[in-house]
Amino acid sequence: MTQDDQHTRGIAILGSTGSIGTQALEVIREQREHLHVEVLTAHQNAALLIQQSKEFQPNTVVIGDLAKLKEVKDALFDDGIKVYGGAEALEQVVEMEGIDMVLTALVGAAGLRPTLRAIRAGKPIALANKETLVVAGALVMAEARAAGVDIHPVDSEHSAIYQCLAGELLNPIEKIILTASGGPFRGKSRAELLNVTKAQALQHPNWSMGAKITIDSASMMNKGLEVIEAKWLFDLKMEQVEVVVHPQSIIHSCVQFQDGSIKAQMGLPDMKLPILYALGYPRRLANDLERFDFLNYPHLTFEKPDMDAFRNLALAFEVGHKGGNAPAILNAANEVAVARFLADEITFIQLTNVVEHALQNVDWVSNPNLDSLVQSDEEARIKAGEFRS
Ligand code: NAD
Ligand code: MG
């Protein structure tokens, strides 16, 4: 987007009814001279998808759940909006001509195929869907490089690093420091974690997010997924990724360069800022979001993550080192574990046991292709479903 560009950027939002999707629409509503909605997609929430479509008048919408297709079609008929349904339509829609950028705001490994299709169609990606990079980071980044497609991170930590790297093209990274809020259970021992409840796990201190990532934040799996996400996004070795707990979530992450200098990106914890940076890239778009004031935060504090209590983080580092299909197994098993925890089938502490069970029972493949990753994902889901305490 250049200064004299008359064209507003056409955005496709995959997962428009979720936490990131709805915040992206709030951002676009305030940035109409720069951004417009070309495509919206949702999995099941037909009512919200219809409401969003009536307001933003996209060219096309996709509802994942075919049982809701007629309802959405009927509701949007008079608006002349094209409506499709099902997973295949979700993959195809990203190729549409009017799309200038695809925001992947859907949750889980379901993001992998549409992201790959968008990359192959040459569409820049604003990537919120971290699971896609955890499952298939090597493949996705290789395809993006081959297609000359930029991936702009939306995850706040990765957006921070991305922002710190602006203008540093020739300067090698010594390491990155990913900050973590520590979630609702920061400071709890392993014994104390035995008794925590679902309601407590769903209460994040700093961020309001979808259910899956909220549980991942409580279990520190979110930080584990982000470590692997960062490795792929910024072409790092696992040894170059460090995690520091920072409960105030003001420093969103840092880069340390080879001269020892550290750059950090700061701001209030509000996902609209990283969403805006990705959608407007390389421009910083003016906005009315609340500004950070140092005087309101006289104490920014830092702690070492407790990987004995929060074993998910240690597991993610191990799996990141191991590579191959191991991260895909970890991710799939974790998706099932979170769903089972939310369905009251397992306890909080067992989230890790489910993932370990899958890692132990699905064969490791050192250099998997897409089919092999999909197969590992399916096998891991079965093993994770079979786990009994
Ligand atoms: P959410 O659960 O609130 O929303 C998920 C969206 O994806 C919904 O629109 C839903 O309809 C759609 N969806 C769900 N399953 C689908 C499927 N199988 N196929 C197609 N669409 C499907 O999730 P969220 O919190 O907005 O998170 C979205 C992604 O962004 C996740 O990968 C998450 O890790 C990442 N992320 C979220 C936040 C946040 O603040 N919420 C921050 C950083 C990263
Ligand atoms: Mg994050």
pLDDT digits (tens, 9 = 90+) for 266-295: 999 999 999 999 999 999 999 999 999 999
Cα–ligand 2 centroid distance for 5 (angstroms): 31
Three-state DSSP class for residue 354: helix
What is the arithmetic mean of pLDDT over 58-83? 98
Cβ 264 vs Cβ 159: under 8 Å: no
Cα(198) to centroid(ligand 2), Å:
21
Look at residue 4 in the predicted model and tell me its pLDDT: 44
**Confidence tier at 207 by pLDDT (50, 70, 90):** confident
The C-alpha atoms of residue 324 and residue 96 are separated, in whole angstroms, by 32
Is residue 220 within 8 A of residue 375, CB to CB? The reply is no
Ligand 1 pocket residue status of 34, Cβ below 6 Å: no
Q: Which domains does the chain have, with CATH numbers?
A: 9-153 (3.40.50.720), 160-268+303-383 (1.10.1740.10)
* Ligand 1, atom 22: closest residue by C-alpha: 43
Q: What whole-number distance in Å separates Cα of residue 335 and Cα of residue 306?
A: 22
Question: Does the CB atom of residue 312 touch ligand 1 within 6 A?
Answer: no
C-alpha span between 239 and 178 (Å, rounded): 13
Ligand 2 (ion): residues with CB under 5 Å are 155-157
For residue 48, pLDDT over 60 is answered with: yes
Give, in order, the Cα–Cα distances in Å from 37 to each of 21, 40, 247, 354.
11, 7, 35, 39
Q: Quote the percentage of the chain above a pLDDT of 90.
A: 97
Q: Which helix (H) or strand (E) holds 125?
A: strand 125-127
Looking at residue 64, the DSSP 8-state letter turns out to be: S
The reported pLDDT for the residue numbered 389 is 79
For residue 121, the CA-to-ligand 1 centroid distance in Å is 22
* Tokens found for residue 9: 């950027």
- Average pLDDT value for residue range 227-247: 98
- 157 Cα to the center of ligand 2, angstroms: 5
Interatomic CA distance for residues 23 and 13, integer angstroms: 11
Q: Which atom of ligand 1 is nearest to the CA of 108?
A: 32
Q: How many residues can be counted in the chain?
A: 389
Block residue for tokens 């890239």: 281
Q: Which of 352, 359, 349, 351 is nearest to 380 (CA)?
A: 359
The pLDDT value recorded for residue 239 is: 98
Q: Which of 241, 18, 225, 21 is nearest to 133 (CA)?
A: 225
